[in-house]
Amino acid sequence: MIGQDKRSLRIGVAGLGTVGQGLLRLIARRPDFVPGGGRVEVTAVSARRRGAVRNVDTSQMAWFDDPVALARCPDIDVFVELVGGSEGVARQAVTAALESGKAVVTANKALIAQHGAELAHFAESRGLALRFEAAVMGGVPAVKILREALVGDEIEAVAGILNGTSNYILTEMEASGLDFDRILAQAQTLGYAEADPAADIGGWDAGHKIAILAALAFGGAPEGSRVEVEGIESVELIDIRLAGALGFRIKLIAMARKGRDGVRVSVHPTLIPLDHPLARAAGALNALFIHGAEVGELFIQGPGAGAGPTAAAVAADIADVIANPKRPVFQSPAMSLGQGTGPRPAREREGVYIRLMVRDEPGVVAAISETLAEGGVSIDSFLQKRLEDVTSVPIVLTTHPAEAAAITGTLARLAALPCMTQSPRLMRLARI
């Protein structure tokens, strides 16, 4: 099919939201974007509502109310899935396209994070391409870098900011001094956050993306359901202010790190030193560090969403389908993919930020210090700072690396101290 006539490649696009319309505009403007010649044409589309107002012309394209029917259409060569979601019609349509002998390009991180290994095996067994560059970091070629450019290196860790909505909210909270709820409402008004922002602010969007990057980096299968995920809903303005006083900025960091006990994949609000490149990635930007045994540190940054950047990534995958249809879906063939995410190592050590709200009374600092010492947790920095708009006295400290069990036990003992007015707040310190 693909390669029989490179002069014309027929594309079917399911999903005509922001990215789908951006892709149609890109192809209409530059139908010959594929290196080496050839013309790309969108010949069929599908969307939830046929009569919706869109700023693209679909009048000359075949219309399908059902994306699965579009995926099976014999008059397309490549099926582009921009519907979203790990189950339901998106999964059915991608499976139908592969069953029908069509290459697939998708921007669906949930689908690849949850079912990528199964779909990869299905595609490779039929000699078909399955590409998903646009699923992670929009127009930034993070997938291509890990799958292709660094195939000769041994990756030790990948970590970064993979969700623009959360990054925008944290950036604006710091800049404006407004609380989480007000900035979230502002982000929704401006279009940076969805009406239902749970996947973004809850960390699951970033969790799906880091599961995919971990699979590419470490030769495993993506396992989105096994990622440790904590969102930014509980990040308070007081934490942003106090972290700044300690020389840190709070970012939602997705990380995959290889250790002796396997690969740990996580998403957490994390304190980053102010002079670190990730701390300077503001607004809706995405940014990623890649640590390789040979190349050392690589840093990439750019827009993680939006019609233009994401459509460009989809277009790049379409070009790759033509040039490299037999390349493995991940870095290794699907049959050789090992286990991806492993359990968190029981004896892993990390430093943390702890914020305590206490009564202003004698002996508080001594009680806190004694409790930490009893738990085997050593203080790295300590700050007691009265804030005018807070009735209790905040005490914040950072710790030297300690085992998770020691941190958990110490936090429970701190919460039980009579001087506490709130439960302790814990966040991780960067290990990047």
Q: Under CATH, what is the fold of the domain 142-303?
A: Dihydrodipicolinate Reductase; domain 2 (3.30.360)
pLDDT digit string, tens, across residues 374-425: 989 999 989 887 766 667 889 999 999 998 889 999 999 999 999 999 999 9
The domain made up of 8-137+310-336 is a member of CATH 3.40.605.10: no
Beta-sheet pairing, 78-81 with 8-14 = parallel
Return the CATH fold of 349-429: Alpha-Beta Plaits (3.30.70)
Q: What is the pLDDT of residue 128?
A: 92
Tens-digit pLDDT profile for residues 117-145: 999 999 999 999 999 999 999 889 999 99
Give yes or no for a contact between 264 and 206, defined as CB atoms under 8 angstroms apart: no
DSSP state of 345: P
Residues facing 298 on adjacent strands: 290
For CATH 3.30.70.260, list the domain ranges present in the chain: 349-429
Question: Does the pLDDT value for residue 247 go beyond 90?
Answer: yes
pLDDT at 187: 86
Q: Do the beta carbons of residue 51 and residue 339 sit within 8 Å?
A: no
Residues that are catalytic = 209
Q: Is 238 within 8 Å of 244 (Cβ atoms)? A: no
Where in the sequence of the chain do the CATH 3.30.360.10 domains occur?
Answer: 142-303
For 43-90, the pLDDT digits (tens) are: 999 998 887 888 888 889 999 999 999 999 999 999 999 998 888 999
* Strands 248-259 and 262-273, sheet pairing: antiparallel
The pTM for the full model equals 0.90
Share of the chain above pLDDT 90, in %: 62
List, for residues 331-364, the tens digit of each pLDDT value. Answer: 766 776 766 555 555 567 889 999 999 988 889 9
For all residues of the chain together, what is the average pLDDT? 89
Enumerate the CATH 3.40.50.720 domain ranges in the chain, comma separated.
8-137+310-336
In whole angstroms, give the CA distance from residue 213 to residue 423: 35
